[in-house]
Chain A
Amino acid sequence: MAHFKKPEEGSWTEHLKVDTEPVSYEDSTSPEHYELEREAIFKRTWLNVGRVEQLPRKGSYFTKELDAARTSVVVVRGTDGEVRAFHNVCRHRGNKLVWNDFPREETSGVCRQFTCKYHAWRYDLDGKLAFVQQEGEFFDLDKSEYGLKQVRAEVWEGFVFVNFDENAAPLREYLGELAKGIEGYPFHKLTQVHKYRAEIGSNWKLFIDAFAEFYHAPILHSGQYMPEQARKIQKYGYEALHYDIDGPHSMVSSWGGIAPPHDREMVKPIEAALRSGLFGPWDAPDIGMATEDLPPAVNPTRDPRWGMDSFVFFPNFMLLIWRPNWVLTYHYWPTSYNTHIFEGTCYFVPPKNAFERLQQELAAVSFKEYGLQDGNTLEATQTMLESGTVDRFPLNDQEVLLRHLHHSAQEYVREYQRRTAGAPAAS
């Protein structure tokens, strides 16, 4: 029973020229494959590590742990206003340069120079080595040769990305047409931030899978609805308005999130009282742009039933733009083949009063309650995939972006293997 029109080919999967065979999840259960992904993907693609609002003035900095790329970076706004990134390592004896209390925890702040905790070597905001303790004790030390090791950093629409591959194409070229079609969205007005972090017991791709399809929502999250509504939603199932793919990136455009909901019976009392819920506050704040005037890649079909678009920018950055003028981002940072750190960040227009603040709290907390269910389900999936007892899994048309993600990740690994054939294997 189709509620929304599909492409002429009869399915999104065939339309987007993705295969329809059952898939294996060997790419999510193998430590060896993960080591290849670290080299082929996390050291060679643009990784979104934050937003420019985290660097409000000259000397503002934050660190980002990138275990998958085997490094930590410090991202800083220089005295010239430019955003730069450096490997977070002192050139003297390799101590981590910027950290507080716990070496593995991320930190942020404002400073004029970076000073190593070990021997007080100091670096300017542009990475130049500025001071060496007891410099005369060293042997012909040329300070200009011992600046911080710079990492490529570029900004798209206020999102700061880094790339460890000096030969990679520029960020905007890499992000492609979908990103181009989002440009102009007023992200800079959404400065009220709620950020969540979780350690997840699954391969990083499996959590992207979970959020790249909504086929699961009526079932796994049925308890979020009033019982009568949960039954109705399960019967209805899920179909997207539109799917699209551009290179390794993809998007799904979805109905729902229409506020207020047509059927008030579906909402819980707290949602009715606060006029808010998982889809955000029902009263959309002014962002200087009407729904019809949003950039072309947002609600690409211009469907009046549109509720939300979810973009996957390969490898691990998801951007959700909701009809009631708020944004949610997800990041998945691998820490091993079967663990990763998940970050979910809600961006709202700053609330004008206490009621709006509570509306946003309900949206943020709803996301967290759902996410807790998703996260734990993933651990259950990972353990059984690792058992290897089943190795062919059928995916349906509403799961097309999962196939595409795994194919893209595998293609990066194959391409890396082709390039390094004859060279020693990644370790």
Chain B
Amino acid sequence: MASVFPEGFEALEPFVDWAVPTEKARYAKRISSTMDELDAFYDVAFPLLKSGTARLEKISMEDISEPDKRLLWLFCSLVTVAFSVEAWRQPRVPDSGASSIDAIVEPAV
């Protein structure tokens, strides 16, 4: 079976369900997760984002492969989750109550 993520990012395989293509769905997954789940994902993914910068800079958006696309979506989830982990210490934005802001146009990848 072909690897889900590009070589070097195998450690992310337990978190493949974070490779979500839309921002709205990524945010929905964040707010339906516990802080323990968000921390577990962040603790594995964040060091790989830091060490993977050069690799990510070589991935052209023009003809992006499926494994690279999944990696990008997963790191987009990490961006969303980082707010909970680094700033809020809770899945939701504080004082945001029932309000929501939904992405209605976003890049395909």
Contacts and interface: CB of A to CB of B under 8 A. Distances in A.
Interface of A: 192-198, 200-201, 223-224, 268-270, 273-274, 342, 344-345, 350-358, 361-362, 364-366, 368-369, 371-373, 375-377, 379
Given A268-B82, A372-B96, A373-B93, A197 B57 contact: no
A379 B72 CA distance: 36
Contact of B101 (A198, A353, A361, A366): A198
A353 B107 contact: no
Contacts of B58: 353
Given A342-B101, A344-B101, 10 more contacts: A195-B104, A198-B100, A201-B99, A223-B87, A223-B94, A268-B82, A273-B46, A352-B61, A361-B23, A372-B100
5 contacts: A201-B99, A270-B86, A358-B49, A358-B56, A365-B83
B80 to A, nearest CB: 6
B83 to A, nearest CB: 5
Question: At the interface, is chain A mostly helix, strand, loop or mixed?
Answer: helix
A201 B49 CA distance: 38
Interface string B48-83: 011001001111110010001001100110111011
B15 interface: no
B59 A353 contact: yes
B52 to A, nearest CB: 9
A369 B50 contact: no
Contacts of A197: 101-102, 104
Given A270-B78, A365-B80, A354 B95 contact: no
A364 B80 CA distance: 10
A379 B88 CA distance: 21
B19 to A, nearest CB: 13
A345 B60 CA distance: 24
Contacts of B93: 369, 372-373
B97 interface: yes
Nearest to A345: B105
A354 B73 CA distance: 10
Nearest to A378: B99
B105 A358 contact: no
A81 B102 CA distance: 32
A375 B107 contact: no
A194 B95 CA distance: 24
B103 to A, nearest CB: 6
Q: Which 4 A-B pairs have the closest CB atoms?
A: A195-B105, A270-B82, A354-B59, A355-B56
B99 to A, nearest CB: 4
A379 B79 contact: no
B3 to A, nearest CB: 17
Contact of A198 (B56, B87, B99, B105): B99
A358 B82 CA distance: 13
A193 B104 CA distance: 10
B107 A192 contact: yes
B36 interface: no
A365 B102 contact: no
Nearest to A342: B101
B48 to A, nearest CB: 10
A345 B104 CA distance: 10
A273 B53 contact: yes
A163 B61 CA distance: 39
Which of B99, B100, B102 lies at the interface centre, i.e. has the most chain A CB atoms within 10 A of its CB?
B99
A354 B56 contact: yes
A376 B97 contact: yes
A372 B88 CA distance: 13
